[in-house]
Amino acid sequence: MVSKKANCKKLLNVFKLVFSITLLLSLVTGCDSSDQSAEKPGHVSGNPFKIGIALGEITPETGSPHYRGVSTGADSPLYAKAIVFSQGDTRGALVLCDLIRITRELSIMVRERASEETGIPYQNISIAATHVHTGPRYMFEMQEYSDRLAEGKLTEEDKSGYLTLIIDGITKAIVEADKQVRETEFVSGIGEAYGLSFNRRFLMTNGRVRFNPGT
């Protein structure tokens, strides 16, 4: 049996690879590359590029709402996976959550709180979802929760419920990643993987498009 610690380590390794590539592509235009004399990879104008990563668990309890009914358990934990980057005076965070989507209310609440706790600018925090179809349903309740939070009227049920767990878990991931920030050097490689996905839209002989015909 693989331990939970080993699973977390494996997740972190995959997460580091995916987000390192994402960061390089999305942030390269934001770095000051005017000084071409930097000797080390990841150094621009004397400022080292730094990264920290962390996980925050957001697994709901058994019996929580699911978009197809009610959860009967979890095959594996759900996580918010955060990476914080820093170079000179520029800091930011990217978070990927095992949820079907991120509502505007959830994004605002987490970014405001994480910004307050870490000092990372609100606008430099981006939160996205893996769009997992087997995750919890939370979207419909989030607007009312957000309103009660803004009015200072959270109930005890709110405070111990899943919506609070999501917010706490995502925020914790960002805060912990910020604490783990270390100087980093980037390396890259190219590989091929087959069988991970396929196009489920098939053009039929009658000109119509169908999803997964024959299944």
Range of the domain at 74: 4-32+41-211
Q: Which distant-in-sequence residues (6+ apart) come within 8 Å of 143 by Cβ? A: 103, 105
pLDDT band at residue 9 using 50, 70 and 90 as cut-offs: low
Stretch 34-50: mean pLDDT, rounded? 58
Burial of 96 (0-12, 13-18, 19+ CB in 10 A): buried
- Answer yes or no: is pLDDT of 7 > 60: no
Q: What's the whole-model pTM score?
A: 0.71
Could you count the other beta carbons within 10 Å of the beta carbon of residue 50? 17
Confidence class for position 3, pLDDT limits 50, 70, 90? low
Split into its structural domains, the chain has a count of 1
Beta bridge pairs of residue 183: 50
Give φ, ψ of 151 to 5 degrees. Answer: -90, 0
The fraction of the chain above a pLDDT of 70, given in percent, is: 77
Q: Which three-class secondary structure string do you get for 29-65?
A: HHCCCCCCCCCCCCEECCEECEEEEEEEECCCCCCCE
Q: Which tokens is 177 given?
A: 């990643």
Would you say residue 120 has pLDDT above 90?
Answer: yes
Upper half-sphere CA count for residue 92 (Cβ side, 13 Å): 15
pLDDT, residue 25, reads 43
Question: What is the pLDDT at residue 12?
Answer: 52
Confidence at 38, pLDDT banded by 50, 70, 90: very low
Q: What digits encode the pLDDT tens for the residues 170-201? A: 999 999 999 999 998 878 899 998 888 777 78
DSSP 8-state secondary structure symbol assigned to residue 204:
-
Q: State in Å, rounded, how far the first CA of the chain is from the last one.
A: 33
Structure tokens at 25: 């592509």
